[in-house]
Chains A and B, each alone.
Chain A
Amino acid sequence: MAMTIEDKLGHNRFNVDSSYAHIHVKDKCDDQKLVERVIMACPAKLYSQREDGSIDFNYEGCLECGTCRVLTHGRIVESWDHPMGGMGVAFRKG
């Protein structure tokens, strides 16, 4: 009985900053392979693709690893920054 990623994230503490998205993602990317890879890459499973092919991303639940930025360098991730001080994930164990 595998836990879903949503279940797993539910055990983390997040201070969600509803006024500031620290990652901005392009709506579309011609490189479908790359879209599939970024969907696969995100440990928090925050990327998905809508039926019309556009990219859906939600920064809430982000573990702030940077994988999507390194993988897609300006091709999907448009800008990547750390959340504002004190916001975002707050690891208790780390």
Chain B
Amino acid sequence: MAEEKFDVIIVGGGITGCVAAYLLAQAEMEVLVVERAEEAGQKAVTGGRMYGHAMEKIFPGFGEEAPVERKIVRERISFLAEETATTLEYDDEEMRKPEKASYSILRGNLDPWLTEKAEEAGAMFIHGIRVDKVLTDDKGKAIGVLAGEEEMYADCVLLADGVNSLLAQQLGLKKELEPKQVAVGVKEVIQFSEEEINKRFGVKDGEGLAWLFAGDVTNGAVGGGFLYTDKDSVSIGIVETIEEIGYGGLAPRDMVERLKNHPSVRDYLTGGELVEYSAHLVTEGGYDMIPQLYGDGVIVAGDAAALVMNLGFTIRGMDLCAESARLAAETIIAAKEKGDYSKASLSLYEKKLNDSFIVKDMKHYRKMPAFIDNHRIFEQYPGMMEEIMKGLWLVDGGEKEKFFKTAMGAVKKVGIFKLFGDVRKAMGAL
């Protein structure tokens, strides 16, 4: 084993690692994936939803064949106050088309399938070994990895080791994460039966709901909640920017309880059984957080490369992982053909990324992280919505103020100029 030299060693067997391994192995390259989990998926946590388009390009029929949970056919966004919810719901027949579809995902189901795909294509996997170091020659070119006291060599190393990529930091490609750039996600998986999910959420087999929450759930801190219907469970959780921890006085772990017990949510969960409690960092710094993506003999992809889009109301990452893995694989295949794995040769990866939806979309949303760093959005607007809605819907037989007056009163509490200013900034960020 120590004598063998691979074309590529991939660190991390998640979506990025598996997709790259699959494509490289299909191109007849010798690929080794080193994953620290004992079995595929055991170190992965998802916020719940994957857009299918990137995977459909790589695995045509992905939505039909892969062990996704449910196709998302209903979007719901709720602004929560303590006892109220103002909700926007959106159904769209187009969400059922494979190229536009998104799916709720559990990585414990998806990652073993992806691993199998890559293995069938000829990639080798080692599970249960941690990579401690990327080995470099005296000129600083990556030549392999040190893993579990064993040295393994390759022409190229692909870092697909996730948001906490200590290896990219070691190589000086990426700086330590800043509290402003990442959020902590805390999630529970609550078990029901498939029929029970259908009944509670008004969906049919194979179809489901994505539900996002802002406001009361974080007690005004920058962040929000999410709920995704899985096949026979519900994934529910919260995300809070790390810098915000302490603001509002609520611990992230308590936010999950607060969300679960909100009057608009709790009845959906009655009788369900908690089967797993997880946490994970979520990259949300946007375009300006993208690190150095390549070096001599090394490429960084997926979450390790901070290729995650912060859309404000939601965070999108897994389709970017798959696409960046595809572009990394193309770059490495081209490097092999040239017999040149130098930094200059691997810079093709950055060009490909710049031409892809990844960087284009991330640039479009570049201002979003700065825009959402504004407590009015999380603290005051949900209350404003509540007041307006109360004026519209609640009747108790007492004299009722004219609706316009109520609405203007609610707006004035926030400040008309502040509101217009935020709307203008929102239009800029979106």
Contacts and interface: CB of A to CB of B under 8 A. Distances in A.
Interface of A: 2-3, 5, 8-9, 11-12, 15, 33, 36-37, 40-45, 63-67, 69-71, 73, 81-86, 88-94
A73 B251 CA distance: 19
B41 A91 contact: yes
Contact of A91 (B36, B42, B274, B281): B42
A41 B246 CA distance: 8
B419 interface: no
B130 interface: yes
Interface in B246-302: 246, 251-253, 257, 261, 274-281
B277 A71 contact: no
Contact of A41 (B41, B188, B242): B242
A84 B130 contact: yes
A66 B161 CA distance: 13
Contacts of B186: 43
Contact of A8 (B44, B242, B274): B274
B352 interface: no
A3 B274 contact: yes
Interface in B334-386: none
B46 A94 contact: yes
Contacts of A86: 36-38, 127-129
Q: Which has the most chain A C-beta neighbours within 10 Å: B127, B178, B188, B280?
A: B280
A73 B185 CA distance: 19
Contacts of B127: 85-86
Interface SS of chain A: helix, strand, loop or mixed?
Answer: loop
A5 B177 CA distance: 26
A83 B257 CA distance: 28
Nearest to A7: B274
Contact of A94 (B38, B44, B242, B274): B44
19 contacts: A8-B277, A12-B277, A33-B246, A37-B245, A41-B242, A63-B279, A65-B279, A65-B281, A66-B177, A70-B179, A71-B179, A85-B129, A90-B37, A90-B39, A91-B41, A93-B107, A93-B108, A94-B45, A94-B106
Contacts of B251: 40-41
Interface in B107-160: 107-108, 111, 127-130, 147-148
B164 interface: yes
A70 B242 CA distance: 8
Contacts of B184: 41, 43, 65, 67
Contact of A85 (B108, B148, B179, B252): B148
B425 interface: no
A67 B184 CA distance: 6
Given A66-B177, A67-B184, A91 B253 contact: no
A67 B166 CA distance: 14
A15 B245 contact: no
Given A66-B281, A90-B42, 6 more contacts: A12-B277, A45-B253, A70-B179, A82-B36, A91-B278, A92-B276
Contact of B41 (A33, A45, A88, A94): A94
B324 interface: no
B5 interface: no
Interface in B157-216: 163-164, 166, 176-179, 182, 184-186, 188-189
B233 interface: yes
Contacts of B253: 5, 42-45
Contacts of A9: 277
Contacts of A63: 277-280
A36 B246 CA distance: 8
B43 A64 contact: yes
Given A82-B166, A90-B38, A41 B276 contact: no
A88 B42 CA distance: 10
